[in-house]
C-alpha cells in the first residue's frame, strides 16, 4: 500500500474526529461557554452546513492549483480551526473555529479521492478511495468515546488540542509521502508512467461536467442513500432506549457496533466496486433499504437490534467508494464533481434527519425514522438502477481513461 494513501487516511481520520467528537462534548462545552443546549447544537449543525457549502466553494477556488499543496493547505486550515476551538474564550470564537475546520472537510475528501486513485492501478481505484475513507470510518467508531474520555479526564479543550496535533502530523505526512505527480494539474506525468493526462479544467470547464445526466443521477443516489441512513441514525438513541429497552449507558457501545459496520462496509464496498461498480451500488442500497425496514419491524428485540444496527453500518458505507469513483469518472475527473458528492451527502443527511424528526413529531413513534429511511434509500435505489441501465446502453468505454490512475510500479520508483 502506498505510504501516500496512509497519509491521506490519517488526514481523513483527523477530520472525521473533528466532525464526530463534538457530540460527546456538547454538555461540557455548553456549560463552559455558558450557552444553551440549542446554541451548543449549532456546533454540530453549523459544521455540517459549512461542509455542504464549503466543499463546492473551496474546490472551485482552488481548481487550477496542484492538488498536493492544496491538500496540505486544507489540513493546515483544519489545524487552525481546531486550534481556535481549543483556545476559544467564548462561544462565537468556538463556533468560528468549527466553521474554519469545516471549510476543509468536503474539499479534502473530494480532492483526496482523486489523488488517492492516481496512486494505484486503475482496477484498484475504488479500493484506494476506501483506504482514504478508512480514516473517517475509524473516526466514527472512536470519535465520540475518544472525546468523552479525554474530555472527562483533562477537559474538553484537551480533546481539540489532541486533534490539532493529529492534524499537524497528517499535514507533514501528506507533504512527505504523497507524490507530487499524483496531484499535478496541467502537467504531463513522468515518461513511462502509463498515465494519460486529463484535460485542463478551469471553473467553466468543471461546471461543464455537470451537463452529464450520469453525474446528476449519481449525486441524487448519493444524497438519498446517505439521507436514508442518517435519517435513521439520528434517532437511534431514542429507538434503542424507548423501543428496544436498552439503557442510556448502552447507547455508546451500540454506536461502536454501528461504527464497526461502517469500517467493514467501506473496505468490502471498495473491493466489490473494483469488480463491478454499479452492481455493488445497487446491492448496497437494496441491502440498506431492506435492513432499515427489518430494523423497524424488529426494533423491540435486543438481539435483532444489535445485528441490524451493525448491518446498517455495513450497507450504509459500502456504497461510498463506488459512488465517488462513479461521479468523478462520469464528470471526466474534475475535482468539483468529487466535492459535489460530499455536498450531496450532507444535503441528504440534513433531509433525512428532518424527515425522521417530522415523522416522530407527528406521532408515528420512534421506529418511524427507520421506515422513513428505508423509503428514502429505496428511492435512491431506483435512481441508481436507472443510472446503471443508461450507463449500460451507452456501451463499454463510454467513460474514458482520464489519468485518474497511476501504475503503482512507477509510484514505487519515486
pLDDT at 398 over 50: no
Cell of 330: 462520469
**Prediction pTM value:** 0.74
Which are the contacts of 243, defined by CB distance < 8 A and separation ≥ 6?
A: 299, 300, 365, 366, 367
pLDDT of amino acid 394: 57
pLDDT of amino acid 270: 86
Can you tell me the mean pLDDT for 311-340?
84
pLDDT tens column, 184-229: 664 444 443 333 333 445 666 677 777 888 989 999 999 999 889 8
Q: Could you tell me which of 10, 12, 47, 11 has the C-alpha nearest to residue 26?
A: 47
d(C-alpha 177, C-alpha 315), whole Å: 32
- Architecture of the domain made up of 203-394: Up-down Bundle (1.20)
Half-sphere exposure of 171 (CA within 13 A, CB side): 18
pLDDT at 297 over 90: yes
Can you tell me the mean pLDDT for 129-157?
80
**Domain 3-201, CATH:** 1.20.1250.20
Comparing 41-45, 360-364, 376-380, which segment has the lowest mean pLDDT? Answer: 41-45
**How does DSSP classify residue 196?**
P
pLDDT of amino acid 190: 42
Q: Between residues 350 and 6, which one has the greater pLDDT? A: 6
pLDDT of amino acid 279: 93
pLDDT tens column, 23-77: 667 778 888 888 876 677 778 778 878 887 887 788 877 777 788 889 999 999 9
pLDDT of amino acid 203: 63
Dihedral sign computed on CA atoms, order 239, 245, 251, 256: negative
d(C-alpha 85, C-alpha 31), whole Å: 15
Kindly list the domain boundaries of the chain, sorted by start residue.
3-201, 203-394
Amino acid at each position: 500500500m502506498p505510504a501516500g494513501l496512509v497519509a491521506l487516511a490519517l488526514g481523513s481520520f483527523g477530520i472525521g474526529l473533528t466532525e464526530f467528537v463534538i457530540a460527546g462534548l456538547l454538555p461540557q462545552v455548553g456549560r463552559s461557554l455558558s450557552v444553551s443546549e440549542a446554541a451548543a447544537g449549532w456546533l454540530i449543525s453549523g459544521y455540517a452546513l459549512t461542509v455542504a457549502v464549503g466543499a463546492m466553494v473551496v474546490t472551485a477556488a482552488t481548481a487550477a492549483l496542484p492538488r498536493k499543496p492544496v491538500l496540505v493547505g486544507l489540513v493546515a486550515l483544519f489545524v487552525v480551526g481546531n486550534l481556535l476551538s481549543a483556545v476559544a474564550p467564548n462561544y462565537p470564537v468556538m463556533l468560528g473555529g468549527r466553521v474554519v475546520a469545516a471549510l476543509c472537510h468536503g474539499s479534502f475528501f473530494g480532492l483526496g479521492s482523486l489523488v488517492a486513485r492516481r496512486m494505484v492501478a486503475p482496477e484498484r481505484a475504488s479500493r484506494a478511495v476506501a483506504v482514504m475513507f478508512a480514516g473517517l470510518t475509524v473516526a466514527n467508531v472512536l470519535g465520540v468515546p475518544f472525546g468523552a474520555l479525554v474530555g472527562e479526564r483533562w477537559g474538553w479543550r484537551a480533546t481539540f488540542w489532541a486533534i490539532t496535533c493529529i492534524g499537524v502530523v497528517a499535514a507533514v505526512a501528506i507533504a512527505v509521502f504523497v507524490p507530487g505527480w499524483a496531484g499535478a494539474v496541467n502537467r504531463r506525468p513522468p515518461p513511462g508512467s502509463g498515465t494519460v493526462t486529463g484535460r485542463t479544467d478551469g471553473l467553466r470547464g468543471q461546471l461543464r461536467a455537470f451537463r452529464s445526466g450520469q453525474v446528476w443521477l449519481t449525486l441524487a443516489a448519493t444524497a438519498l442513500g446517505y439521507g436514508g441512513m442518517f435519517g435513521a441514525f439520528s434517532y437511534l438513541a431514542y429507538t434503542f432506549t424507548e423501543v428496544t429497552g436498552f439503557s442510556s449507558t448502552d447507547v455508546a457501545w451500540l454506536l461502536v457496533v454501528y461504527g464497526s459496520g461502517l469500517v467493514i462496509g467501506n473496505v468490502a464496498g471498495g473491493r466489490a466496486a473494483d469488480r463491478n461498480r454499479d452492481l455493488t451500488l445497487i446491492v448496497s442500497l437494496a441491502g440498506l433499504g431492506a435492513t432499515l425496514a427489518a430494523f423497524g419491524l424488529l426494533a423491540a428485540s435486543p438481539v435483532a437490534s444489535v445485528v441490524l444496527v451493525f448491518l446498517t453500518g455495513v450497507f450504509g458505507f459500502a456504497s461510498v467508494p463506488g459512488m465517488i469513483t462513479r461521479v468523478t469518472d462520469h464528470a471526466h475527473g474534475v475535482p468539483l464533481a468529487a466535492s459535489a458528492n460530499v455536498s450531496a451527502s450532507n444535503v441528504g443527511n440534513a433531509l433525512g434527519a428532518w424527515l425522521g424528526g417530522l415523522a416522530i413529531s407527528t406521532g408515528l413513534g420512534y421506529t418511524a425514522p427507520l421506515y422513513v429511511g428505508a423509503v428514502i434509500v429505496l428511492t435512491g435505489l431506483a435512481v441508481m438502477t436507472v443510472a446503471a441501465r443508461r450507463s449500460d446502453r451507452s456501451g463499454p468505454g463510454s467513460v474514458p481513461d482520464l489519468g485518474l490512475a497511476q501504475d503503482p510500479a512507477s509510484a514505487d520508483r519515486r
